Amino acid sequence: MNMISRLSIRLLALFLFGFAGASVSPAATHIVVYGDSGVYGKGVSREEAYPAQLLRMLRQKGYDVTVTNAGWNGATSADALANIGSVGKADVVVVQFGVNDAKHGVPVATTRRNMDAVVFKLKERGAAVVVVGCRDADLSRVASARGAPYVMWGGLPGPQYHIPGDPQYHFNAVGLQVMASRILPVVERVLGSKRQPPTSE
């Protein structure tokens, strides 16, 4: 057997090995957290924002996931609908808007209508959706109507959870950790429901 033939066989073997490895190692589940400054983490580092904390919590529990922080300061439900294409391809999307709508006096009915369209479009693309709302923008009806789990944001009045002197009362790293812990079990249930049952041989 000449050198070229031996090289060809080695390359073929490497190709087949790589293909087999890819077939038994499924790609990580991609989670996008799409929202306002509560998602972005205004006033804290990127590693302290709750999407990053959620990622660490999930990986510590053995989940093979990636989490993208797709939040930006000041975003409203109208912004969410207008920019939904920026979410890209995702397996799970956590959507969190409404606080800025309330600040700007947007009617709750308008916020709910926008968010209903957002959830519909995301699910239409094949993503599982978790809806996060707040006291001033209760989106539980939207979530229920679209078959999405719902989580309430906030409810931590103590100063130890907030950035000192922040007039908008944003959470600090500790408060965001509590929120990530609150969202964690809901995301886990969604991840469990998306797992494919084992195939019988």
Q: Give tens-digit pLDDT for 70-123.
A: 999 999 999 999 999 999 999 999 999 999 999 999 999 999 999 999 999 999
Amino acid identity of residue 7, one-letter, is L
Domains delineated in the chain: 26-194 (3.40.50.1110)
Tokens at 116, concatenated: 């209903």
Q: How confident is the model at residue 193, as a pLDDT?
A: 77
Higher pLDDT, 200 or 103: 103
Question: Of 178 and 17, which is predicted with more confidence?
Answer: 178
For the ranges 39-48, 114-123, 187-196, the lowest mean pLDDT is seen at: 187-196
pLDDT at site 119: 98
In the sheet that 92-96 helps form, which strands lie side by side, from edge to edge?
Answer: 65-71, 29-35, 92-96, 128-133, 150-152
Helix (H) or strand (E) holding 116: helix 108-124
- pTM comes to 0.83
